[in-house]
Amino acid sequence: MDKTELISVIVPVYNIEKYIERCIESITSQTYSNLEIILVDDGSADDSGRICDRYKIKDPRINVIHKCNGGLSTARNAGIARAKGDYIGFVDGDDYISQDMYEKLLWYMKEDVDITCCGRTYILPRRKRREYCLGRIEKFSKTEAIEEILLSRKICISACTKLFRRNLFDDLRFPTGRICEDIPTVYNLIKRARNLIHIGEAKYFYYYRENSISHKEFYPQRTDYIVFMKYIYKDVKKNYPQLILQAEAGYIISLLNTLDNIEQCGGYEKYSNIKNKITKMIRKVAIGGLINPYVGDEQKKKIIRHFLGIPIKVVCK
């Protein structure tokens, strides 16, 4: 491992004054020290921006960008534009990372590898933990990696569990004005990569905040998940026809999961128009979904229920 190689770590920050210090300290204490840490204050209304400025004084590796609020993608894109590193990584400001995460990810960045990734641990309420990790080192070709993210198996879609070669971002940015922005971005980054290695260990800690935007009541923008999976489905059909069934399964699962979210979060009546549109979309792909080997039995039962129009309300507890 060449310790002269610079890693740019981009951290979007927005109204997370309770968590940002833990995040920053987990990065500044990395065993691989040749880091450029870019903290992007996305128009925070609390003390988050001032905390970032204080850390900048303490550690010369830290750069702080203050900008008007524009969302996660604009913050990450601002960091990418500023980054000078040979590699780029992302950490969300309310999460934190293992002390040796970037040393391990860089160690496995071989000559023919452009992305390395690790597993993640979810920190749930009441200090419960749930780990998602491959458990072994495994190398994937571009096509194999795309298959894994389509089916949400060995490789997750998150940008935060990965280290990327800087050149992969040439003319590529996160889509703005959207959520689920990791889906198309990571897909396109993998398309540009040669190979990917999973290091087989969980090094990223995802902190589950119950009041986080991603855990609130359903809102229409969550349908971006469907939009992006449909885009990938069409792209796979054109460029990776050998993965068409996997892409179809990923698209169908996005429809079912979004519909589940509406029902489970008390939006069954409030968002009836969206629910009806998604139900129609499911009916269009129902036959393909029922014979698709990558669609599970429980998901096929849901397809049948929606195809027949059986209303089932799920009450949140």
The per-residue pLDDT for 241 is 98
The per-residue pLDDT for 311 is 57
With beta carbons less than 8 A apart as the criterion, state whether 39 and 55 touch.
Answer: yes
CA angle 193, 199, 204 (to 5 degrees): 100
Positive/negative CA dihedral, 41, 43, 44, 47: positive
Walk along the chain (317 residues) and give the pLDDT tens digit of each residue: 677 999 999 999 999 999 999 999 999 999 999 999 999 999 999 999 999 999 999 999 999 999 999 999 999 999 999 999 999 999 999 999 999 999 999 999 999 999 999 999 998 877 677 788 888 999 999 999 999 999 999 999 999 999 999 999 999 999 999 999 999 999 999 999 999 999 999 999 998 866 554 555 788 899 999 999 999 999 999 999 999 999 999 999 999 999 998 887 766 678 889 999 999 999 999 999 999 999 999 999 999 988 877 655 443 33
The per-residue pLDDT for 125 is 74
The residue assigned the tokens 């059986």 is: 310
d(CA 195, CA 282): 34
User: For domain 7-207, is the CATH number 3.90.550.10?
Assistant: yes
The per-residue pLDDT for 124 is 83
The per-residue pLDDT for 269 is 75
Residue 175 CB-half CA count within 13 A: 17
